[in-house]
Amino acid sequence: MRKTIVGITVVGKDREGVVAQFTSFVFQNGGNVEKVNQNVIKGLFGMYLEVSFTSKINFKQLDSGLQKLGKKLRMEVSTHSETGAEKNIAIFATKEQHCLKEILSAKHALTGKISVVVGTERALAPLAKKAKIPFVVIEDRSQEKAEEKLLKICKKYQVDLIVLARYMRILTPNFVWRYPNRIINIHPSLLPAFPGSLAYAQAFERGTKIVGVTSHYVTENLDQGPIIFQDSFKVIPEDTLESIKKRGQKLEATTLLKAVKMHLDNKLEVRWRKVHTKSK
């Protein structure tokens, strides 16, 4: 029988015995642990378990049992399973429209549904409205408060994939750990060089001969997640900062869209912090 893969995320205040109790629960319910990743930052514990079942499982019953265990340990637990159903996509953005516009223009070609667009301001609301997609603005300056609202939105729309379309806020571990390898970002340089928001200016000032962009999965380490896809263009003597930025933004949009399509088509797999393309 084909294996059923279930992802389990556990987030909460660090305490002893959490890993042991969750892995024991999986074994007692006939599952096998395929992957386990855990981390602690400033007293916050996060764990991702990828488990498999070779026999038929009652997903609701499994989730109910995990929720009871989470409540007992005072941990927030969520489960995710690739059922083959259409994936729900949330796009987070700020005010630059090139990436959002590119993805919205290709929405009918995606093997997923863009369920909601979230902005830190209202600048991009008209694009979402034109595409007939709900737009939610979250203007909270406090990232903690903003993420509380983001989590509620993602739960409401049953989000499977989050796309950061030039979203100019840094997501904390408390959020990122809940969506392992399900948040895709685009960075305007060939990582791991020129980190931060002024990548084009740094590239121009250093006289780089090639400028590129990087799509990657988001982790708790800023701009250091597993790289999905990269592309680049040559800088010519006539280029200015503005011409480099214009060409770069066009490449950002197409590269991000390509990464999203590959993820939705289940062509990507993360092993040992590297993204591998699955063979057909």
Which position has the token pair 């010519």? 236
pLDDT given for residue 126 in this prediction: 97
Q: Which listed residue (223, 231, 239, 265) is catalytic?
A: 223
pTM value > 0.75:
yes
Domains assigned to the chain: 4-81 (3.30.70.260), 87-277 (3.40.50.170)
Cis upstream peptide for 126 (omega within 30°):
no
The whole-angstrom separation of Cα 165 and Cα 26 is 36
pLDDT given for residue 189 in this prediction: 87
Q: For the residues of the chain, what is the DSSP string, one character each?
A: -PPEEEEEEEEEE--TTHHHHHHHHHHHTT-EEEEEEEEEETTEEEEEEEEEESS---HHHHHHHHHHHHHHHTEEEEEEE--SSPEEEEEEE-S--HHHHHHHHTGGGSSEEEEEEEESSSTTHHHHHHTT--EEE---SSHHHHHHHHHHHHHHTT-SEEEEES--SPPPHHHHTTSTT-EEEEESSSTTSS-STTHHHHHHHTT-SEEEEEEEE--SSTT-SPEEEEEEEE--TT--HHHHHHHHHHHHHHHHHHHHHHHHTT-EEEETTEEEEPP-
pLDDT given for residue 194 in this prediction: 67
Q: What is the pLDDT of residues 48-62, one digit of tens each?
A: 999 999 888 888 999
pLDDT given for residue 271 in this prediction: 82
Tokens of 146: 């903003």
pLDDT given for residue 249 in this prediction: 96
C-alpha 26: how far from its chain's center? 25
pLDDT given for residue 1 in this prediction: 60
Q: Is 223 a catalytic residue?
A: yes
Q: What is the pLDDT of residues 2-31, one digit of tens each?
A: 788 899 999 999 999 999 999 999 999 999
The whole-angstrom separation of Cα 9 and Cα 269 is 18
Largest CA distance in the chain: 66
Give the residues of the chain that fall short of pLDDT 70: 1, 83-84, 194-195, 279-280
Quick check: 157 and 138 in contact, CB under 8 A? no
C-alpha distances (whole Å) from 229 to each of 56, 195, 247, 255 are 36, 17, 17, 7
